[in-house]
Amino acid sequence: MNRIDQERKKLVATAVLGTARSGPLPPDVEGIFRSSLTILSRENPEEQLLDEAALMINYRRAGMVVSIGSIDELPTASQESLPSCSPAAAELLKQILDGSYRDVLPEALDLFVGHQLRVPFLLLPDLLTVGARRPELRSQIVRVAGERGKWLAQFNKSWSYVGTASVDRTSEELVADWDTAKADDRLAIIHRLREMDSNLAVSLLIRSWKSETASNRQAMLSLLEPHLSSEDAPILEIAFVDKSVEVRREAVRLLSKLPLSIVRKKAIELAESSIQLKTRIFGGSEITLALPHAYDPEWSHYAIEETSYIKDIGDRAWWLVQWLGLVPPDYWSNKFGMTPSELLAAAQLSDWADALRLGWSKGAKLTNNHQWNYVLLKYWVTAADSRTSITNLVPRVGDLGPLAEALLSEILDAVSLPLHDRHPATALLRQYTGPWSEEFSRKVLANIERRSRLPKDPNQQIWLSVSLLREFAYRIPPTLASEPWFDVTRDDDEWMNWANAVNDFQNTLTFRQNLYRELES
């Protein structure tokens, strides 16, 4: 503790005890600070104390002269291989990093990577800080940070991910960093190694599996999915008997994707023993079921829950949902020679119809089967099922792949009224993060424009729809920014509900258009 800090403690003690009890404390410091206190000497001890405190605050703010010693010379950054973007593009990126259009950042980074441009030096600290908070953007950030970004990262621990996520690093370098890497950096290492050497990534997981936290083990398993193969079986079988329920559940999910895995075989065995297809006397087919009457404790190894949490789904039906959800629904199409729509129609006649639909939905989501997801989501939308407990089982628009816009267009065309908060397409449009095609964008915007001209209807609230217009500006192709989608000269009462949202929509779309132009020029 230096002399100034000691004097500060004395002043604080005097203030706490009171000058009458402690008496004046002459400063025990030298130099200009002491001479200044002498000049400020007052007869009133309270005023003297306040003067000393005020002077000390300013003295501390003024700092001190740094002693000059030997400083190790810092290594210089390597020569940049990528050109910087234009000053105009840099200004647009600065607005994004400042928060004006923060949701454009992933798209902007993709554009920088696609055009092989780097971020200007002055913006690197802000960009690297974003990467510290958002791991999903790190691989893109590293690719546009350039050599100066890699050099700069050594001076801030929260930027250490730059070295781990670098696309230039060899597998040997990544393995060397493994034992000392933080949890997030280990995830980045596994992600990179899966693209370079899948087996090496698996061997690292096996080596350190027991030392990882349960949440990290689960996250690492999830990283195996994009390149999942039978060669991943060793680590999946270890995770299959993990002490964490969530880790076991993730292992079961991934094992069910492998055709020859024990999970797939067991699920098909139990589902087949329960499901039969019968021909009806008066034509058509009907699915009949013979479900177990008691829960088998062995099922817990396959993450099969004993008790249902789904409204209107009993425990036995819940067992069926879970086992069916581990079987690709195409298996049943091939087994019975029926399309997804035909199987749904056959299930409709069963007492277990709801369980069958939920099980097939779970399986279709698991295997990313676009055709099945299309048919099932269409059913759930038409049925207008309001149970929140089935949300994680029912397909989402993103599960439809290239069929998403076809289903959304079909729903928009089927309902004569334009979008409102309870319109069947509204929630689905919110899920569909895009990017949207020009044709589909035109259809949605025309629908919204038509809604903006209708008088207020208490049965058709529009607050969510108005809010969504702002979100759509991030999904619609920026090439449509120049088209006049709304008549902004309107001054009628209905326009007041839409004016601000339309202005925000147009500003965002124009901003994105400018970004594309600057980076492509």
Question: How sure is the predictor about 24, in pLDDT bands with cuts at 50, 70 and 90?
Answer: low
What letters, b where the CB count within 10 A reaches 16 and e where it falls short, cover 420-450? beebebbebbeebebebeeebbbbbbebbee
pLDDT for the residue 37: 59
Question: How sure is the predictor about 34, in pLDDT bands with cuts at 50, 70 and 90?
Answer: low
Percentage of the chain exceeding pLDDT 70 = 91
Q: Give the model confidence (pLDDT) of 299-346 as tens digits.
A: 999 999 999 999 999 999 999 999 999 999 999 999 999 999 999 999
Kindly report the CATH number that applies to the domain delimited by 87-255. 1.25.10
Prior bond of 435 cis (ω within 30°): yes
pLDDT for the residue 46: 78
SS3 for 360-397, per residue? HHHHHHHHCCHHHHHHHHHHHHHHCCCCHHHCCCCCCH
Q: What is the pTM of this model?
A: 0.79
Residues in contact with 209: Cβ distance below 8 Å, sequence separation at least 6, in sequence order: 217, 235, 238, 239
**Average pLDDT, integer, range 290-298:** 94
pLDDT for the residue 67: 62
In this predicted structure, the answer to whether residue 407 has a pLDDT above a threshold of 90 is yes
Structure tokens at 395: 């397909």
pLDDT for the residue 22: 62
In this predicted structure, the answer to whether residue 97 has a pLDDT above a threshold of 60 is yes
**Please, which residues bridge with residue 287 across strands?**
277
If you search the block for the tokens 């002077």, which residue do you land on? 55
Is the CB of residue 329 less than 8 Å from the CB of residue 340? yes
pLDDT for the residue 28: 53
Domain positions in the chain: 3-62, 87-255, 261-395, 418-521
Residue 430 vs residue 281, higher pLDDT: 430
Mean pLDDT of the chain: 88
In this predicted structure, the answer to whether residue 136 has a pLDDT above a threshold of 60 is yes
In this predicted structure, the answer to whether residue 55 has a pLDDT above a threshold of 90 is no
DSSP letter for each residue of 480-520: GGGS--S-TT--SHHHHHHHHHHHHHHHHHHHHHHHHHHHH
In this predicted structure, the answer to whether residue 508 has a pLDDT above a threshold of 90 is yes
- Span between the terminal Cα atoms of the chain, in Å: 59
DSSP letter for each residue of 87-101: HHHHHHHHHHHTTTT
Rounded alpha-carbon distances, angstroms, from residue 91 to 88, 134, 519? 5, 22, 12
Question: How sure is the predictor about 381, in pLDDT bands with cuts at 50, 70 and 90?
Answer: very high
Is the CB of residue 244 less than 8 Å from the CB of residue 217? yes
